[in-house]
Structure 1
Amino acid sequence: MGFTRGISPPGATQATRLRPSAASGLSPYGSMDTSRHHPTSLTRGVFGQKAEHVDPAQMQLAFDAIVQMLAGTGAQPDAGATSSPDGRDGATPNGSSGGGDKERQAHPHGRQRLPEHLPVERIELLPPEAQDERATALVRIGEEVSETLEWRPASFVRLQIVRPKFAVKGEPEQGITIADVPDSPVPRSLAGPGLLAHVLVSKYADHLPLHRQEKMFERWGLHLSRSTLCGWVESCAGKLAIVVEAMAKDALNAHCIAIDATGVLVQAKDKCRRGHFWVLVADREHVLFRFTPHHNQDGPKEFLRGYKGYVQADASNVYEQLFRTEGVTEVGCWAHCRRKFFEAMNSDRDRATVAIGFIRKLYAIDKATKELPPGRRTEQRRMDAEPVLVAFRAWLETEDLLVLPRSPIAGAIGYALNQWTALTRFLEDGRLRLDNNRSELELRREAVGRKNWLFVGSKDGAEWNATSCRSSPPARCTASSPGPTCATC
């Protein structure tokens, strides 16, 4: 095949092109290939784009090769969807599905209409002629109205709760009657529910650390110390913990749970320690965050204790104990698999492009069956995706014998083969996703916040963070009106 020619060392025979054994050591070509890969990867990580775009011309070559391989298996090359040379086949550059083959929609030009629900303030401007003695000779025949969008700064309100006292006339022994004091989220605190919701939303949804909020409140004419704000956050987190633990219990009944993690620095006396935030996304529309001081196998196993069902995650070894638990079934992530091949583009563009082409084909099939009910979707996936997987597996096994060991492309091929059972699990159930991108997107809330607050002050602070970030979509702090929603929780 044209994609595998010309990549072996000059003068190499078929025997020398086979992968050398571990005892033979790495060839000089393998060392040079790896040494070229690492500087390129580091440079892209610091200065390059994060989007994993592939050259359309390269995808044309991969598309032709995949069509030939699928024809050799007896499968229909265009089963499920039609893949185009430029890669617009339903797979986004990062390996997720959706929106890749949609043409650009025309957006209206000109000034945007302001929402009708906004309150209106009317300012009427009269010409000088209508304000002096000549006004009596003028007749109003119409008006011109123009609109601008204005901002009214937030303001504090002194909310007085008045409880009148009553007594029975002529019967003082009956005592005094008065209404009960309404419950407060923070006992003996001046903060009302709306202010508490504002502090929480600003900190965990808008990623404003408390010291910035302290400065903002001072600009609005009120001094609220950082320690006071911190106490409010602690009290609210304690109240929210009851709700989110009920959510966590309900999430254990989900059909599939996606899990991912990201690191965070925890302040300590000598130096910052490294902890981890975890996100769990259940198909029952629950999004849960957890914190652990260590990145080991105990965390996921404890979070999902008693769970029976599918768990979608990357191939990290921290999930090994979890996947050995009876009743837990591993689901792989094609986005991670694709990323491995994309990272190998600089060292072996031809092979990496073919692999990415196969993965694009799987996403195109998944997109074509997206609107089908789960049962029908399972059948269609098996009909359309299984031949693609058979051809892809055969290609991987063939190329695995030809690539240099310890090279980036060898690592990508090894990842796909080692994770093959988990990666093909989506054929079992139409409700399973091809990738773990949803949990990564949810985890970005912590990653974006980390750029602002840099580290958490203590383990307790990390727990408050995880508790306050957990939410279900109807009450998520990123809703259109988070303040009223959170205040009524």
Structure 2
Amino acid sequence: MKNTAPTSKPTIEYYQAQNEKLEMEKEALEAKLKWYEEQFRLSQQHRFGSSSEQVNSDQLSLFNEAEDTTNSTIEEPDVETITYKRKKQSGQREQKLENLPKETIDYRLSDEEQICSCCGGTLHDMSTEVRKELKVIPAQVKVMEHVQHVYSCRHCERHEIETPIVTANMPKPVFPGSLASPSAMAYTMTQKYVESMPLYRQEKHLERFGVSIPRQTLANWIVYGANTWLQLIYDEMYAHLLEHDILHADETTLQVLSEPDRPAKSKSYMWLYRTGRDDTPIVLYDYRQTRAGKHPQRFLTGFQGYLHVDGYSGYNGLGNVTLIGCWAHARRKFSEALTALPESASTSAVKAKEGLAFCNRLFDIERDLKDVSPEERYEARLERSQPVLDAFSAWLREQTPRVLPKSALGQAIKYCRNQWERLERFLLDGRLEIDNNRAERSIKPFVLGRKNWLFSNTAKGAAASAITYSVIETAKENGLNPFNYLRVLFEKLPNMDTADEAKMASLMPWSPTLPEECQIPNQSK
């Protein structure tokens, strides 16, 4: 008969330890569940909700609306308010049309019809009735034959040993050996990079004009035009960009299918750099394979001053540069925290609204200071914005231990505290902006275009796209018609000395000597 060791019964301490362990696991699972619920609500908002970050100030005080609006001294109204419709002011249509080219068609009676039906006398022109219409002239495709005549001397042909040959001047082609004209190349680029029309759709569009041009040929036009001619304008704009002391930067993803030693699904990046609100508008894109910090370091070599950025750490390695944080990102974090909370989370909702209210108060101050001078803005910020920042900083420190670190509200508070040194630097100079929205607005055309053409086939094509987007977006920022401006560039650059700095300066998007046709009538930047 085998002897077995007696098994000891679990003690009270054992069960207490197990209970504490299970409680901790339960709390961890509940926290994880709340985080997943927040992410689900945020994703639903991103998919189906409004993309605007504007918040009605009344919504931030809904939880104490009754206390804020109550007033026992005001009697209930006994008169009903009736709304009414008002006729639009006259003259607005004429103002919209005043800078457009006009074509007048007169409708007159013939000499035989200018006879009075009553007495038979001659009728005279008493008045006119005018009807205005907008006439749209669609694109047309026609063949331009450039015939260069060659001349010689009959006398020399008969009596002299040598005969002088004189050839008439003819403009050089924008793409030798190709059907591309300056207008065709400009049209292809604006259709893709302004109207976001992929090349395969442009190919079908041209077929309806009766001409068949493969998309590969259209792509060759873009790459050649960008690398040969627009690169010259890009380099000049790049040199001007580095001369400024306030810039904005941002980046977004791009898929390039055929890159050496990289799979087709790998992410590449399009970086953006642009000038501030008080400087000549310059917008430059820079295509790179990665999001590494070495790329802004290389691009901004020689730049000294302020750089508006988001919270990405890749900009931290820039020397002689003061990074300015983005309050729009901070506000967005609290807005997302408010969206992610369930209806039952009243306490957290109040805290999220409080954080959002601090951000909105700063933006309200900036809105009031929009039209003042940089010096006045600097003084007013110290007087009005500094107290708000001090109060917000104290509020962030107070709330940090009270919220879950991984919750949306906890992440919003963490972002503000980690970025605080950058966020408060907009007080250093009245020319600085409170956010980096200027860069985000400039990179948006690329993002919208990417939704249509989806990817670039090669790295060479991606680099050409960066150059073309840079020239087009800078032209738009300077109030130019992109198509007309590109056409002028493709007409003049092949036929001029591109080493002449004065001639190149006359073709910059901000040059006052550009042809009037490049300007947009009734421009709205």
Identify whether the pair has TM-score above 0.5, normalized to the shorter chain.
yes
Corresponding residue for residue 255 of structure 2: 265
Structure 1 partner of 2:38? 37
1:150-299 map, 5 Å:
150-168=135-153, 170-172=155-157, 173-238=162-227, 239-268=229-258, 271-283=264-276, 284=279, 285-299=281-295
Residue pairs, 1:77-476, within 5 angstroms: 108=89, 112-113=93-94, 115-116=97-98, 117-120=100-103, 122=105, 124=107, 139=123, 142-168=127-153, 170-172=155-157, 173-238=162-227, 239-268=229-258, 271-283=264-276, 284=279, 285-319=281-315, 323-345=316-338, 346-347=340-341, 348-471=348-471, 475-476=475-476
| 1:474 to partner: Cα distance | 6.4
Taking the aligned partners of 2:26 and 2:327, their CA distance within structure 1 comes to: 31
| Cα distance change on mapping 1:487 and 1:288 into 2, 3 Å | same
Instruction: Report if aligned partners of 2:288, 2:295 keep a CA contact under 8 Å in 1.
Output: yes
Q: What is the alpha-carbon distance in structure 2 between the residues aligned to residue 31 and residue 53 of structure 1?
A: 30
Larger radius of gyration: 2
Deviation string, structure 1 residues 94-151 (Cα, Å, up to 9, x no partner): xxxxxxxxxxx99648994472433325274989x9699x899694755533233232
Identity, in percent, stands at 29
CA–CA separation in structure 1 for the residues paired with 2:163 and 2:213 = 43
What is the number of equivalent residue pairs in this alignment? 425
CA distance in structure 2 between the aligned counterparts of 1:349 and 1:109, rounded to whole angstroms = 48
Distance in 1 between residues matched to 2:311 and 2:141, nearest whole Å: 50
Q: Is the 8 A contact 1:266 1:273 kept in 2?
A: yes
Which amino acid counterpart does residue 358 of structure 1 have in structure 2?
F
User: Aligned runs of 1:55-70 on 2, under 5 Å?
Assistant: 56-60=57-61
TM-score (normalised: structure 2): 0.73
Q: Return the alpha-carbon distance in structure 1 between the equivalents of residues 119 and 179 of structure 2.
A: 57
Shift of 1:24: 10
CA distance in 2 between counterparts of 1:144 and 1:260 reads 55
Pair 1:225–1:123, CA change in 2 (3 A): farther
CA distance in 1, matches of 2:312, 2:218: 38
Coordinate RMSD, CA, aligned: 3.4
Task: Name whichever of 343-352 and 31-40 sits farther off.
Answer: 31-40
Change beyond 3 A, Cα 1:139–1:175: same
The change in CA–CA distance for 1:35 and 1:225 in structure 2 (over 3 A counts) is closer
Partners of 2:234 and 2:349 in 1: how far apart? Answer: 47
Which is worse superposed, 436-445 or 275-284?
A: 275-284
Displacement of 1:61 after TM fit?
A: 6.5
Letter of the 2:34 partner, please give it: D
**Cα deviation digits, residues 177-220 of structure 1 (max 9, x gap):** 11344222212223221221111111111111111111111111
* Bigger shift: residues 52-61 or 359-368: 52-61
Q: Is the contact made by 1:335 and 1:437 (CA closer than 8 Å) also made in structure 2?
A: yes
Gaps of 5+ in 1: 1-22, 68-83, 85-104
Alignment check: 8 A CA contact 1:378 1:428 kept: yes
The one-letter code matched in structure 2 to 1:456 is S
Task: State the shift of 1:26 in Å.
Answer: 5.9
Identify the residue that residue 99 of structure 1 maps to in structure 2.
Answer: none
Kept in 1: contact 2:152–2:165 (CA 8 A): yes
Contact 1:279 1:439 survives alignment (8 Å): yes
Note if 1:481 corresponds to 2:484.
no
CA distance in 2, matches of 1:216, 1:131: 49
SS of residue matched to 2:306: strand
Give deviations 1:241-271, integer Å, cap 9, x for gaps.
1220221122112212211111122224964
Paired AA for residue 170 in structure 1:
H
2:3 match:
none
Offset, 1:231: 1.4
Q: Contact 1:205–1:478 (CA<8 Å) still a contact in 2?
A: no
